[in-house]
Structure formats: structure tokens, C-alpha cells
Amino acid sequence: MKKIILSILITLSVFKLFAQDQKAVTESGKKVILHSNGNWEYIKENNCSNFSLAGYNAAKQRIARGGDFNFYFNKAWQYVRTYGENNYDAIANFEQAIIMYPTNGGTYSDLGNCYRGGFKCYEKAEFYYTKAIENGFAKGFVYYNRAICKYELNKIDEMRADLEMSKKFGWNNDYYKLSYK
């Protein structure tokens, strides 16, 4: 019995000795994990910390029933124009519009704008920009907006590819100065 306990203690001690990862912050403010094997990786932070699930769920409860695509799409834009992109009712109505017309790529792009610009939810926004492109809404500004998300998620090579695609589709504005990053 003593040998088993001693063996377990030695195993745990060795494991703890070799498995000590260190956390650090880069000069640009990104958090990384420095692994004991010499490798490192960025820590995915909750880039959506100002998104309230309670606010979102409440907006979903307020959705009017029985409308068509145009009703929900126009309602969503009414909320965006009145309150801005950080509006849960806009998101809920864009989502309802997508349910009514799931192959309309422009609606995915608009939803991505709410998540990116309004709530800084870059992973969700990236997903919706990708859906927009997959559904035929391959516009320069969509690639550029997705590039912003990829930059924020530290996917630099993918960001550069989207930046090039945005230029290919005629988008020449670089408000975020991504071409310098």
C-alpha cells in the first residue's frame, strides 16, 4: 500500500513539475500561455463580455409572430437606425428574418455587423460574415468586416487573406489600418 501511495505522489510531483504553463501578456495586450515544452498560444478571451444573454432572451420574447421576411428585416433595421447596432431587438429580428429566408446572405452580413460593431462578439460576427459569403453575398465590405474579426481573434494570416479578398471585390477603404498589421 505504501508503494502505491508513494508511486502516486511521485507521479503527481513529476506531472506538476513538467506541466507548469505560464501566462503572459504581450506588448500589444494579448494574453498568451507559455507551455513547459517551449510552445505558446494565444488565450481566447471572451470577446463578447458586454453581451447580455438575459437582454437577448428578452428580445427574443418580444418578437412579433406571424411576420414575413420583409417584416422582420425592416423591423431589425428600424432598431439599428434608432438605437444602433448594439441592440438585442435588432439581432432577434435579423435572426427571425434569416429563419424566413435562410439563403439571403445580406441578412447574415447585417447580423454580423450587430455582433461585431455593436457587441464586439468577434467569433459570432466572423461566423455570420462567413455565412453571408457562403450564401452569395461576397462583397468587399463583408470580407473587410470579417478581416476585422480575424484581427481581433489574432488570426493574422486569415485576416490578410480576407483583406486581399476585400480589395479584389473593390473595397479600398482601410479604416482599421489592417494593411499595416
Q: Are 20 and 109 within one domain? A: no
Name all contacts of 120-123 with Cβ < 8 Å and 24+ positions apart.
120/47, 120/48, 120/49, 120/50, 120/152, 121/47, 121/48, 121/51, 122/47, 122/48, 122/148, 122/149, 122/152, 122/153, 123/47, 123/48, 123/149, 123/153
Q: What is the pLDDT of residues 91-111, one digit of tens each?
A: 999 999 999 999 999 999 999
Number of domains in the chain: 2
The whole domain housing 99 covers: 53-180
CATH assignment at residue 93: 1.25.40.10
- pTM, two decimals, is 0.74
110-132 pLDDT per residue, tens = 999 999 998 999 999 999 999 99
Residue 47 belongs to some domain of the structure: no
